[in-house]
A and B are shown apart, each in its own frame.
Chain A
């Protein structure tokens, strides 16, 4: 194959439109559509007494005002609980518009539709909602006390409680193993809330075609296929009458996998009711108070270990704040509690979590999805063991590593997909060796001493993680070669900047032996591919990548079969180079794929010159065979699915050198090093980009970002002024090295890479600050003021 593009840093094919302003994001669509806006609750917990719209009725351009009472049928029911789990005994979801009670600031109460957004907001401002204020439950501690309840029928505010226990040798429990261990430590860790915060908020635009009785909806979503099914169900429409398209999406990071958002069903409903196009574009404040947050947890840890720092028993109790509702189930704490183990064997393990309601924005996965907290827990544990034993932190980690010859390695737990947590491949000792070399771990002591001599404080930190990627159940790919030789690839999952149009084209071009310029890729459009799960859990490349490869192989086989007949050759002797099928070593005996595409579709009518070759009088055909053989289909196309038995496990290790200012307590990252293993790389440039972006978000979470709620449940920093996302000045240069241990689970040998960068950053920075300061760091993020206070109480 001359067209080997897999593994190359191919430039992105989506860029041409995005750098010229020709991208089409949600709010770029639907010029002239009516605009929706929402009256949202200003209270964290309140009973709605009445809604008075009279003052709003005079607003110019007002079209409609809706409250919960107006919603028909299934629309009036609570939103779906997307991922039920037996342990989620008290799952609760919101109504699309609040019914009687509001449970967080920002919950939608009234929908207004008007000629444009300014006018819709004018009307919102004039609508008076009467509330009886109820006692808000804010903060994990307050919630577990259970004095006041978020949901009247959820005692103790506990939505879910789950225990997983893996006994050690001879069946000892974790409790026994900890008690019997030569050394023991016990401590508490805290992680604050943050949020995905894509630069483009959510948005929905709906067109009802009254003549056709059909609905077309555009949504800034990570799953168009599932939004489609939700809309069809909620609106009582036949599925084929609903199409959903994810246009260009300005970042997702998890928040846009949740669906249907209230607006995703209300806007289409209004469009159908009003026979008008309707659009809603989320503004920044709405995104802060009415989308999702993540990360907030309290962890209690008990660990027992031997003289080498080997963990013999580990007990972790997690209190997970899931906010007011649980539409996405308990995926986040499940991931925290299972992925916490990272690259280590820990003897006996017991983890218990309670997932707790509070009167705050709901919690659903944000890039990393519970892993950053789990890794923070495990890596803090490793550092504490090292400190206790006076050993090097990397030595303690190495003593606990799963070894390369131990794969597949069964952690004995049940993972987020309900499947056993079995690691497929990896080489952790090698990754650590590479990392130490990259950052200069072994010579750091001297560097630190030199800095100290100049009155500077520097510290080094390390963090390791394993990430289950590419979760099922499946994705599909469709590949069609048309008679002009073009290759059309589609897959159902969506894109939010990961470069899928490029990497999937690389896969197709490589598999089919065609120039990449001939390949075009469509994602997230149910008109092209209706079966899909979505883009989350670092799964797109693994799932759709493999599905597309498999679909290409089908098409390739068919092409070779047809070509073999035309060339009177054995298909096994044929190759495809540069879009032409030829006998291996004999480039002259060839036939273009375009022609094969023509031949694959027996025609009656010649619509152009090429097509003449496939018409019924064109060539010799066997009189006693039907033009389309049994089991065959016309056309040079194929569809296939990839459905793995279980996730594939990527891994990585990060190290950082930080400097803390002795006076101002400012924390500066001097160097940041990443060793990353996501199996085979499809496009190293894109993988590096994913790592950079992930680390930047991790730096935000480690040093700057938190959701500041007051005791009334008001989010005090719901703007970019006050919620501090890193600018270029806050993100260090990231040094990367790749290790490739291919996954044995999928045909391409790849593992996911999307979330990786963010996962260990808090752990790494905590480790480094602790090293610089000699102060125990048990809570993240850490601001200069936090560090200052820690210094005072040392």
Chain B
């Protein structure tokens, strides 16, 4: 039994990619294994942990709950695409390092994508808003305190940049 394969075209981090995938191929697997972009992680594959979060046309989605064929023709940003041109880390990335918001780093790509989209829409969040923004991602290492700190620090860094 041979599975039907579908040709998909994805623009990932600004680069056009083509792949032939079975209909059931998860976007997370397609990114990681077909396109070799292993920065996106999978922690549960049932939509709860948020480690697999990527930006689909700018909005955070769980790539483990999305089929690759669903993303056909769309724009995707993964953690590999968050840095500025020239590889300069983004304010969110810098803030995570500064605030020690990661330990093992496995959940980190999901948080970075989530926070990046959040701060774009809400550049000066309140405590409550920041908490709400990251409350859908699991981290087993950090206890979240430094992640919350990093959200605010990233907002500051971004504001400095925009000034």
Are A and B associated in one complex? yes
Where the two chains meet, the residues of A that have a C-beta atom closer than 8 Å to any C-beta of B are: 11-12, 14-16, 18-25, 27-28, 31, 58-60, 116, 118, 197-200, 248-251, 253, 283-284, 496-499, 685-686, 688-689, 691-697, 719-721, 725, 727-729, 731, 733-734, 757
Contact B100 A686 (CB under 8 A): yes
Q: How far is the CA of A242 from the CA of B103 in the complex (A)?
A: 29
Given contacts A16-B89, A693-B103, A734-B143, 15 further A-B contacts (CB under 8 A): A18-B108, A21-B39, A59-B1, A198-B104, A250-B43, A250-B107, A253-B140, A284-B44, A284-B46, A497-B104, A499-B103, A692-B144, A692-B145, A696-B144, A721-B48
Q: How far is the CA of A733 from the CA of B93 in the complex (A)?
A: 22
Contact B46 A719 (CB under 8 A): yes
Chain A neighbourhood of B39, CB < 8 A: 20-23
Contact B138 A727 (CB under 8 A): yes
Contact A27 B38 (CB under 8 A): yes
Query: Among B32, B79, B105, B145, which residue has its beta carbon within 8 angstroms of that of A250?
Result: B105
Chain B neighbourhood of A25, CB < 8 A: 38, 41, 106
Closest to A499 in B: B103
13 residue pairs bridging A and B, Cβ less than 8 Å apart: A19-B102, A19-B105, A20-B39, A20-B79, A25-B41, A118-B24, A118-B25, A284-B44, A498-B103, A689-B103, A689-B146, A728-B144, A728-B148
Q: How far is the CA of A192 from the CA of B32 in the complex (A)?
A: 37
**Counting chain A CB atoms within 10 Å of each CB, which of B83, B112, B131, B138 scores highest?**
B138
Query: Among A27, A685, A719, A728, which residue has its beta carbon within 8 angstroms of that of B147?
Result: A728
Q: In the A-B complex, list the 8 residue pairs whose CB atoms are closest, starting with the nearest.
A: A21-B39, A250-B106, A497-B104, A18-B105, A692-B143, A696-B143, A497-B103, A28-B38
**Counting chain B CB atoms within 10 Å of each CB, which of A14, A23, A24 scores highest?**
A23
Contact B79 A720 (CB under 8 A): no
Is B33 interfacial (CB 8 A cutoff)?
yes
Contact A19 B89 (CB under 8 A): yes
Q: How far is the CA of A731 from the CA of B97 in the complex (A)?
A: 21
Is B40 interfacial (CB 8 A cutoff)?
yes
Contact B106 A251 (CB under 8 A): yes
Whole-angstrom distance between the Cβ of B80 and the nearest chain A Cβ = 4
Is B16 interfacial (CB 8 A cutoff)?
no
Chain A neighbourhood of B87, CB < 8 A: 20
Contact A118 B22 (CB under 8 A): yes
Contact A12 B100 (CB under 8 A): yes
Contact B33 A199 (CB under 8 A): no
Chain B neighbourhood of A692, CB < 8 A: 142-146
Contact B48 A720 (CB under 8 A): yes
Query: Among A498, A719, A731, which residue has its beta carbon within 8 angstroms of that of B145?
Result: A731
Closest to A734 in B: B145
Query: Among A19, A59, A727, which residue has its beta carbon within 8 angstroms of that of B108?
Result: A19
Per-residue contact bits, chain B 6-34, to A (CB 8 Å; 1 contact, 0 not):
00000000000000001011000000110
Is B68 interfacial (CB 8 A cutoff)?
no
Query: Among A20, A24, A498, which residue has its beta carbon within 8 angstroms of that of B93?
Result: A20
Is B118 interfacial (CB 8 A cutoff)?
no
Query: Among A15, A58, A727, which residue has its beta carbon within 8 angstroms of that of B102?
Result: A15
Chain A neighbourhood of B22, CB < 8 A: 118
Contact B89 A20 (CB under 8 A): yes
Whole-angstrom distance between the Cβ of B32 and the nearest chain A Cβ = 7
Contact B142 A689 (CB under 8 A): yes
Chain B neighbourhood of A725, CB < 8 A: 138, 140
Contact A31 B103 (CB under 8 A): no
Chain A neighbourhood of B2, CB < 8 A: 60
Q: How far is the CA of A248 from the CA of B108 in the complex (A)?
A: 13
Query: Among A16, A27, A689, which residue has its beta carbon within 8 angstroms of that of B100?
Result: A689
Contact B131 A728 (CB under 8 A): yes
Q: Given the known inter-chain contacts A22-B39, A689-B100, A719-B46, please indicate yes or no for A697 contacting B148, CB distance below 8 A.
A: no
Whole-angstrom distance between the Cβ of A720 and the nearest chain B Cβ = 4
**Counting chain B CB atoms within 10 Å of each CB, which of A251, A695, A728 scores highest?**
A728
Closest to B96 in A: A19
Q: How far is the CA of A20 from the CA of B39 in the complex (A)?
A: 7
Contact A21 B37 (CB under 8 A): yes
Whole-angstrom distance between the Cβ of B91 and the nearest chain A Cβ = 12
Q: Quick one: which of B115-139 are within 8 Å of A by CB?
A: 131-132, 134-139
Q: How far is the CA of A197 from the CA of B22 in the complex (A)?
A: 31
Chain A neighbourhood of B85, CB < 8 A: none
Q: Given the known inter-chain contacts A199-B49, A499-B103, please indicate yes or no for A251 contacting B141, CB distance below 8 A.
A: yes
Chain A neighbourhood of B93, CB < 8 A: 19-20
Q: How far is the CA of A497 from the CA of B147 in the complex (A)?
A: 15
Closest to B3 in A: A60
Is B55 interfacial (CB 8 A cutoff)?
no
Whole-angstrom distance between the Cβ of B133 and the nearest chain A Cβ = 9
Q: Given the known inter-chain contacts A253-B140, A727-B135, please indicate yes or no for A199 contacting B104, CB distance below 8 A.
A: yes
Contact B49 A720 (CB under 8 A): yes
Contact A693 B142 (CB under 8 A): yes
Is B60 interfacial (CB 8 A cutoff)?
no
Whole-angstrom distance between the Cβ of A325 and the nearest chain B Cβ = 25
Q: How far is the CA of A15 from the CA of B105 in the complex (A)?
A: 8
Whole-angstrom distance between the Cβ of A598 and the nearest chain B Cβ = 33
Q: How far is the CA of A501 from the CA of B97 in the complex (A)?
A: 14
Chain B neighbourhood of A693, CB < 8 A: 103, 140-143
Is B86 interfacial (CB 8 A cutoff)?
no
Q: How far is the CA of A409 from the CA of B69 in the complex (A)?
A: 66
Whole-angstrom distance between the Cβ of A12 and the nearest chain B Cβ = 7
Is B59 interfacial (CB 8 A cutoff)?
no
